[in-house]
């Protein structure tokens, strides 16, 4: 077990690609689940609210996803300034409770584009699918 006093966080700087004139901290690169949630919001456009985002993420990842995982990710993305949320009006189906709708901000689109460039750069030069050496 590690205690907090034994942990040291090290920042590693990586170039995104030859065409980029800046570096990015590895921790700033979007994780694959964050990308899935952001892309669901992009795809759903004005209809991007919690349950719809959850269903879109489950569809694209082809697996069950906990609603709490999507909600926590949306909250984190909002704190990072990548999405914005707003409350819609209440509906009778929801007993008058309002839905929270999400929109991807320009910073979110930039982060998605950077993540894609990084992904392509990491895979460049490798044949897909990878095969074990015998």
Q: What residues does each domain of the chain span?
A: 13-115
Under the banding of pLDDT at 50, 70 and 90, the label for residue 46 is very high
Greatest Cα pair distance, the chain, in angstroms, is 62
Q: What is the CATH number of domain 13-115?
A: 1.10.10.10
Q: What is the mean pLDDT of residues 68-84?
A: 97
Instruction: Return the pLDDT at 21.
Output: 42
Confirm if 37 and 56 have CB atoms less than 8 A apart: no
Q: What is the mean pLDDT of residues 51-70?
A: 97
**CB-based burial, 51-82: b 16+ in 10 Å, e otherwise:** ebbbebbbeeeeeebeeeebeebbeebbeeeb
Predicted confidence (pLDDT) per residue in 4-43, tens digit: 433 333 444 444 444 444 444 445 679 999 999 999 999 9
Q: Name every residue whose Cβ is closer than 8 Å to that of residue 97 and which is 6 or more positions away in sequence.
A: 90, 91
Separation CA 63–CA 2 (nearest Å): 33
Instruction: Give pTM, 2 decimals.
Output: 0.75
Instruction: Return the pLDDT at 105.
Output: 97
């Amino acid at each position: 077990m590690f205690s907090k006093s034994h942990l040291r966080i090290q920042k590693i700087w990586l170039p995104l690609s030859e065409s980029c004139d800046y570096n990015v901290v590895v921790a700033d690169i979007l994780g694959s689940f964050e990308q899935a949630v952001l892309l669901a919001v992009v795809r759903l456009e004005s209809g991007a609210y919690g349950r719809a985002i959850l269903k879109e993420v489950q569809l694209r990842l082809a697996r069950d996803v906990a609603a709490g995982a999507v909600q926590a990710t949306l909250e984190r993305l909002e704190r990072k300034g990548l999405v914005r949320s707003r409350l819609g009006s209440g509906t009778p189906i929801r007993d008058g409770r309002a839905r929270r709708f999400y929109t991807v901000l320009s910073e979110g689109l930039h982060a998605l584009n950077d993540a894609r460039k990084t992904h392509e750069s990491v895979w460049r030069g490798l044949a897909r699918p990878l095969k074990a050496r015998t």
